[in-house]
Structure 1
């Protein structure tokens, strides 16, 4: 059993995409990041960076005690190795998939996150920040579009954890959509993944777990998410 600590955000969706594709048995523990559930001691014990998602595998491959994993990229890699799925077995294919997994973790996710923050959540419009992160988000879409030219998926013909990591971060902000018209291969790839039954099941969890998804955030919720500092006991 995979115990999944989750909230329906782009990073949360990565893990449900894998679990639904692989058909692994899992149980969701909602982590409402708008109410500060990510700071509760029990959650910090498995995710010390106070970010979700995180998992606890109650039946790890080594037969030992339950294994906890935090960071969405590490979770995808752990689950791929556990199941032997969605990560190429050959060395070169594996490296390609991991390159693009880490590209998402270091680039597409953080930069699109900053784009969304300054476009949607910031208390004031800062033109420099908006332009800076819009241009970077568009640059990364261009990188992905070139990569997908002539390929079904990011690492080649097969769907992998690289695709699962990147897909939720393509136009993650309904209130600030990026123009995908210049990126035909991204649009083609996005449509193929969106049509997968497992993707549809994963996205259906959004309203089940958070019925208020899509509603404006309160000032209190924003303060919890964006006002964190270095707290010491």
Structure 2
């Protein structure tokens, strides 16, 4: 059984899409990032960067103690390698065709799309955000172009076969309209996006949610302030003493 420490963000949904495609049983363990669950000591033991998702595999290949993995790209590589699907291992060229696009997503698409979202929400009281908004809007547009140009002569990002490269990239594109993207401008990407959107496992993985366990109206001003201090402008945590 796989425990998935999860909140329904694009990074979490990458992993649930893959698990649904694999048909592997899993249990969702809620990590409510809005209230700061990711900073709890128990979670930090499996995800030292205090970010979700993370997994714990209680039945690793070859047996032995449970294995925990953090970072969505590493999780997807781990699961695909364990199950022998969606990431070829015997063909070196095919293996790294997939691997480079998984890393591209982790290093480029995810961070840049996330920054675009962040700066689009910053309050006016924080000052003029126009440069940051323009920079990340342009970068998001550029990255859609990267995918579009990649897909003009191949069915999937890594070639003819559907892989974790596609699954890891899809969730961040599901909000293309909010990101200001016109799909008709990127016809090759649009074809890929529409095909993936019809896959039942993708639909199931995208639909995985959690019980937030609270009424937003019940959150006191003091708790709101605590969360702001915890979640924003984070600096280094001190190392354990001992």
> Structure 1: which 5+ residue stretches go unaligned?
213-217
Take 2:58 and 2:23, find their aligned partners in 1: how far apart are those partners? 16
Aligned to 1:32: 32
1:100-119 correspondence runs (5 A): 100-119=101-120
Greater Rg over alpha carbons, structure: 2
Take 2:225 and 2:197, find their aligned partners in 1: how far apart are those partners? 33
Aligned to 2:6: 6
> Structure 2: which 5+ residue stretches go unaligned?
215-223
Find the residue that maps to 1:163 and give its secondary structure.
helix
**CA shift for structure 1 position 91:** 1.1
Take 2:226 and 2:187, find their aligned partners in 1: how far apart are those partners? 39
Find the residue that maps to 1:181 and give its secondary structure.
helix
Runs of 4+ in 1 over 6 A off after TM superposition: none
Number of matched residues?
A: 228
Aligned to 1:76: 76
**CA shift for structure 1 position 211:** 8.2
Take 2:42 and 2:96, find their aligned partners in 1: how far apart are those partners? 35
Q: TM-score, normalised by structure 2?
A: 0.87
**CA shift for structure 1 position 135:** 0.7
For residues 132-163 of structure 1, the C-alpha deviation after alignment (integer angstroms, 9 at most, x for no partner) is 00111111110110001121111112110100
* Aligned with 2:137 (options 121, 134, 137): 134
Find the residue that maps to 1:189 and give its secondary structure.
helix
1:1-233 correspondence runs (5 A): 1-89=1-89, 90-120=91-121, 122-124=122-124, 126-172=129-175, 175-206=178-209, 208-210=210-212, 221-232=227-238
